[in-house]
Amino acid sequence: SPAVYSLDGLLVFGLLLVCTCAYLRKVPRLKAWLLSEKRGVWGVFYKAAVIGTRLHVAVAVSCILMAFYVLVVK
């Protein structure tokens, strides 16, 4: 089955989204362009950026554990 339909594929996608949005929040021009909306479809990116910056330690640990799972276990 494709990776989109598996739970680990969904978790990898979510972690990559959160990490990318948190990184884009640090770039001033991209923050004003992409992360200015707090509602709707663009609000998902804003909320992912907020999660990534506020829970940066938990997100980093989750990324390390997911990388270990994908590279070694799977």
User: Average of pLDDT values for 6-20?
Assistant: 90
Q: State the average pLDDT over residues 13-41.
A: 87
Q: Quick check: 55 pLDDT over 70?
A: yes
Is the pTM here over 0.75, yes or no?
A: yes
Tell me what pLDDT residue 8 has: 83
pLDDT band at 3 (very low <50, low <70, confident <90, very high): low
Q: How many alpha carbons lie under 13 Å from residue 43 in its C-beta half-sphere?
A: 3
Q: What is the mean pLDDT of residues 35-39?
A: 82
Q: Which residues contact residue 25 at a Cβ distance below 8 angstroms, ignoring those fewer than 6 apart?
A: 31, 35, 49, 52, 53
Mean pLDDT of 9-16: 90
Alpha-carbon distance of 20 to 26, in angstroms, equals 10
